[in-house]
Amino acid sequence: MLSIILQMYSSGNPTNIANPINDASFQFDIKTAGGRLTLYQTTLCERLGWDDLSANVNIDPQHYLDSYNVNDIQVICCQADASTMWLVPEVVKQQFIKSLNSSKMDIKFSWVLTRDRPKGKETVKYERSVDPSDLPKSTEVEGVLNGSLSSFRIHNICPRTFRVTGSGDVRPFEQEVNDVSADLVLHHRNSEWWSFHDIKPLRSYGCGALSGPMAVIVSEETPQGFLGETLSKFSIWGLYITFVLAVGRFIRLQCSDLRMRIPYENLPSCDRLIAICEDIYAARAEGELGVEEVLYWTLVKIYRSPHMLLEYTNPD
């Protein structure tokens, strides 16, 4: 079945075309029993292609990206300052501080990426909670919220390298060992806003002065055309499973209980065969299992021998 799907794919001759990231945004939330607050959010992110990077930049010293087309690799560099002010009423802030001391804290990050394809999955989101062992102390977060501290640090917030598949899934690299760690800073001036400062200097990644969230994205190519869009939506494995289920269902409907059927179509006369079948059921009903077995094997021998089958179904 898989070979049939692959043959369909190859015969349709869908051409893979680049499917780069057109837009990116990053969000950082903190959640307690008292609710969820968005601390940092930015949509001010630049997208740099492999060719736009300086020759001195080495974003892949372990050579994890060597197997990918350089045209599919982009570096997303975001500004450190949030693109929105932090407008949280004081009473809400105080209630949230109370919940920090009385419940567990959960910190989440999310990347939202937009591409042109596949249709229906142009926007994808990758969200994950920070491991509890890497969370800051609740007293540190409380200190920043009430103004006694200016920042708190979080380690291993998120992976730095992602792969966006042709079917629209976001997956971090399995070899990823260089997670992002950052300082979250709350500015108190005429207005309040958060900043996200990556601890590791990002100049080595080509981001220059942009010290906000950063990611290396491999956006895989997608096939074009009707067949290509279908494969992009379902993936070749999804299409394979669909065919297996559909064809399997059809075969089951057509072949169910075949072992209980005695083929008799297109035979001249089946009276003698029907009489043997009736005798089998009669012997079973009377408990004559020996007679039933003899009659059953007689029927089997008839169907195994074309000569005997013609003899027993001869209308004369």
Mean pLDDT of the chain: 82
Which domain range does residue 134 map to? 19-220
Please report whether residue 90 resides in a domain: yes
Percentages helix, strand, coil for the chain, rounded to the nearest 5?
A: 35, 30, 35
> What is the signed CA dihedral for 280, 285, 286, 291, rounded to 10 degrees?
20
Please report whether residue 5 resides in a domain: no
Mean pLDDT of the 241-254 span: 72
Cβ proximity of 199 and 181 under 8 Å: yes
pLDDT 10s digits, 139-179: 999 999 988 999 999 998 888 888 898 778 888 887 655 57
Task: Tell me the one-letter amino acid at 280.
Answer: I
pLDDT 10s digits, 90-100: 899 999 999 98
More confident residue, 11 or 185: 185
Judgement on whether residues 107 and 199 belong to the same structural domain of the protein: yes
What global pTM score does this model have? 0.65
Percent of the chain clearing pLDDT 90 (strictly above): 30
> What gap in Å lies between CA 49 and CA 70, rounded to an integer?
8
Please report whether residue 1 resides in a domain: no
Q: Which of these three, 163, 198, 220, is where a domain ends?
A: 220
Domain count, the chain: 2
Q: Residue 233 pLDDT more than 80? A: no
Please report whether residue 212 resides in a domain: yes
| DSSP character string of 139-150 | HHHHHHHHTS-S
